[in-house]
Amino acid sequence: MSAAAPPWSPHRRRPSLNITRSTYDVGPYQNSHDSFLFSLGDGKNLENAKLSRISPENASCAVFSSQYHGPCFGQTDLRMNDNFNSPSKCTCQRHDYETEICELQNFSVEEYEVFQVIDKNASTSSQSPSDQAYPTSTLHPPRPEFTNYPTSWGEFMHF
């Protein structure tokens, strides 16, 4: 009899939705013409991957975060509320981004990951790319009283 796969095993991995944004100011809605969301679908067939950019006319609603929310993109395109690992605390309904990336409208999240894209060719700053990385301590991670997961940003979103 073989042992069960550990929780982190790729054999137990469910479809994931990865989140990407290009603006890193946190608080009310942030304006960004470069923000986008993407989904790798089931993670097995890249033909099922989806990419959605912020609609130019809705760039003022690109990204939102507060102490009561996880990362939110658009008004309803991807919204994670405070107790995000409880049923129906997250929504994914196309509104401000160009295409829908997820067919689920109400779901819970076990883990998520936020990426920062840095233009290595940008010469407008004298800082090195590592100095330009956004300090994760100023982001609003999931509140520990609402989750059993680490409070650092940098995990996969599974649903």
- Structural domain contains residue 50: yes
Say what the pTM is: 0.55
Residue 148 is predicted with a pLDDT of: 40
- Structural domain contains residue 74: yes
Instruction: Give me the number of domains the chain comprises.
Output: 1
- Structural domain contains residue 22: yes
- Structural domain contains residue 108: yes
Q: What is the mean pLDDT of residues 24-33?
A: 68
pLDDT over 90 percentage in the chain? 9
The span from the CA of 71 to the CA of 79, in Å, is 7
- Structural domain contains residue 157: no
Distances (CA, A) of 2 to 9, 10, 14: 14, 16, 21
pLDDT per position as a tens digit, 31-61? 888 888 888 877 788 888 899 999 999 999 8
pLDDT per position as a tens digit, 114-137? 777 777 887 554 444 444 444 333
Q: 28-42, 67-81, 144-158: which range is least confident on average? A: 144-158
Range of the domain at 109: 15-121+128-146
- Structural domain contains residue 92: yes
- Structural domain contains residue 3: no
